[in-house]
Amino acid sequence: QKEVEQDPGPLSVPEGAIVSLNCTYSNSAFQYFMWYRQYSRKGPELLMYTYSSGNKEDGRFTAQVDKSSKYISLFIRDSQPSDSATYLCAMSAPAGDSSASKIIFGSGTRLSIRP
Amino acid sequence: GAVVSQHPSWVICKSGTSVKIECRSLDFQATTMFWYRQFPKQSLMLMATSNEGSKATYEQGVEKDKFLINHASLTLSTLTVTSAHPEDSSFYICSARPRGLAADTQYFGPGTRLTVL
């Protein structure tokens, strides 16, 4: 079983729709949760960073973490064609003193917003 | 701020040759840099973690003699793919963690696409 599971999609929705992207994880030690956006042939760009359960909102983006269910979500409101990209969830656990913490990525969901 | 660059952005080489990829943090000092590999339609897989002035820590299954990492300064890390083969063709992405920030703060470079013929 992978540590982080993410539906690869592709997911296609019309412009203006609300998009819901999700990941599940198995490692209860994960405490930091991130969402990255990656355009084709580009490096990932950090969208949202959350620590602990609950919601965090930034403009049209809302990140949600449910540690009890080991489930995280990213919601995109009023989706735009420019939101078309691959969205990767990522998470990490606190590191010990001797090592940097590692980020474990989901496989990414390809999202397409139709004009 | 927090810009990471990679050079080259793409490279094509013949099988058996070596290729060096540079990763630079342009406006901050990076105590730790990470190298990832990403195959088409797959996620990023961590290859190694490098700290300035010390040897890199490689992930299980990554050959340290094939993927040489040098982190000579707080702004530069290099990945050399030695004796490259077609199966090494991939998208290589580095990231850098700024000094003094949370361990999970990593800024990614734009990636280098390697094609080995």
Nearest CA in chain B to A34: B104
- Torsion angles phi and psi, residue A82, rounded to 5: -70, -10
Residues in chain A predicted with pLDDT less than 50, given as ranges, are: 97-99
Strand A32-38 and strand B10-13: the pairing is unpaired
Q: Return the top range by mean pLDDT from B16-20, B49-53, B94-98, B100-104.
A: B16-20
State the average pLDDT for chain B: 91
pLDDT digits (tens, 9 = 90+) for B66-95: 999 998 889 999 999 999 999 999 999 999
Strand ranges, E, within chain B: 4-7, 10-13, 19-25, 30-38, 44-51, 57-58, 67-73, 76-81, 90-98, 107-108, 112-116
CB contact under 8 A, B104 and A92: yes
Cβ of A106 and B108 within 8 Å? no
| Minimal CA separation from B87 to chain A, in Å | 19
Residue among B6, B46, B104 minimizing CB distance to A32: B104
Burial grade of B70 (CB within 10 A; 0-12, 13-18, 19 or more): middle
pLDDT (0 to 100) of residue A8: 84
For residues A97 and A94, give the distance between their C-alpha atoms in angstroms, rounded to a whole number: 9
pLDDT in tens, B23-43: 999 999 988 899 999 988 788
